[in-house]
Amino acid sequence: MSDDAASATLAEVGEFGVIDRLVAGRRQGPGVVLGPGDDAAVLTAPDGRVVVTTDMLVEGRHFRFDWAGPYDVGRKAIAQNAADIEAMGASVTGFVVALGAPSNTRVGQLDALADGMWDEAQRVGAGIVGGDLVASPQWVVSVTALGDLCGGEPVTRAGATAGSVIAVCGELGLSAAGYALWQNGIDEFEPLRRRHLVPEPPYGQGIVAAAAGAGAMTDVSDGLIADLRHIAQCSAVGIDLASAALAPDRDALAEAAAAVVADPWSWVLAGGEDHALVATFPAGVPDGWRAIGVVLDGPARVLIDGDEWEGYQGWQSFG
């Protein structure tokens, strides 16, 4: 694309011209029966059931352009939706994206967002099959992800049973650490600051966990304890985390925590947005997963070494 077009505004190029540009040259996957450009898209659903989830990111609330460029915003929006599909024990088949942006936005900014979305979608093994583009006072990125269960049963939050092992795949607390570094204007610890902008969910491990007999599963989006509390409540079980098993996660963040004078435990236990997967396994933890605790009989609660966690409780919208 020419630089001229990239520096034009959405108002100058118009909805249909921008959409043509965003769609041009993208390679759709084999499961796409009908891609962008019609009233709706059509994807294969080989399992006969389809998994669906949606998440909205609002500029100023979920991302800010003085920290993240639109490329990173695109990657994050796709990643967090993909993680929700993985957390059901499913495989992502495609995404649709509804995007709001101001009329004076440069087309090149949308190119970058779309590039980020496509790069992340390809890491998942899927494509963006459709969308909507509208005028909005600030950027709003609303992604819906579809997935296929590949013949397995959905792994909900309700299937945890006493005696199972709790295990995690992926990282804990990195996004929260990065957020604190950005907040404090510290420009060291580049990998942590990057991880706040773009999480790296363990793609493909949702299906692995389901095949290994996971009883319950979720992704860590609001914070480890907050998300495990959902499993505890839905499954009517207790959960006891072992601080010794989580200590390496804490130690990896100790230097950054010292720099911002924070408690690395609160990042590990209550930091969201890493989109690690956490699951309960009644019989054996698969390769690549780390045991971090055990499932107890009820009441529904989450303990650390047998005690209640009294720190920050995790993210809520409007909090």
Which residues are CB-contacts of 286 (< 8 A; sequence separation ≥ 6)?
Answer: 167, 205, 208, 209, 211, 212
Which 57-76 positions form the footprint of a second copy (CB under 8 A)? Answer: 57-58, 60-62
Taking Cα atoms as reference points, which of 175, 169, 190, 179 lies closest to residue 274? 175
Q: Angle at CA 314, nearest 5°, toward 197 and 144?
A: 55
Interaction residues for a second copy, span 164-193 (CB under 8 A):
none
- Residue 147 or 293: the one with the smaller Cβ distance to a second copy is 147
Instruction: Name residue, tokens 């047998």.
Output: 306
Toward a second copy, which CB reaches closer, 45 or 245?
45
CA-to-CA distance for 66 and 216, rounded, in angstroms? 38
How far apart (Å, rounded) are the C-alpha atoms in residues 7 and 3?
Answer: 6
- Using CB under 8 A, which of 8, 23, 234, 252 touches a second copy? 234
Q: How far is the CB of 25 from a second copy (least distance, A)?
A: 19
**223 forms part of the interface with a second copy (CB under 8 A):** no
* Of 30 and 318, CB closest to a second copy: 318
What binding mask, one character per residue, do residues 297-316 give for a second copy by CB under 8 A, x or -? -------------------x
Query: Six-digit token pair at 308?
Result: 């209640």
The minimum distance between CB 145 and a second copy, in angstroms, equals 8
CA 177/CA 183 separation, integer angstroms: 10
- Of 121-160, which residues contact a second copy (CB under 8 A)? 129-138, 140, 142, 144-147, 149, 154, 156-158
Q: Is 162 in the site for a second copy (CB under 8 A)?
A: no
Q: What is the nearest approach in angstroms of a second copy to the Cβ of residue 298? A: 19
| In the complex, minimum distance from the CB of residue 186 to a second copy, in angstroms, rounded to a whole number | 26
How many angstroms separate the CA atoms of 6 and 279, rounded?
44
DSSP-assigned letters across all residues of 127-195:
-EEEEEEEE-SS-EEEEEEEEE-TTSPP--SS---TTPEEEEES-SSHHHHHHHHHHTT----HHHHHH
Q: Which stretch binds a second copy (CB under 8 A): 7-15, 178-186, 193-201, 303-311?
A: 7-15
Q: Which one of the spans 81-89, 166-174, 249-257, 258-266 is the region binding a second copy (CB under 8 A)?
A: 81-89
Among 22, 78, 85, 168, the residue binding a second copy under the rule CB under 8 A is 85
* 195 binding a second copy? (CB under 8 A): no
Site for a second copy in 22-51 (CB under 8 A): 33-34, 37-51
Q: What is the dihedral of CA 52, 223, 197, 18, to 10 degrees?
A: 20
Residues constituting the chain: 319
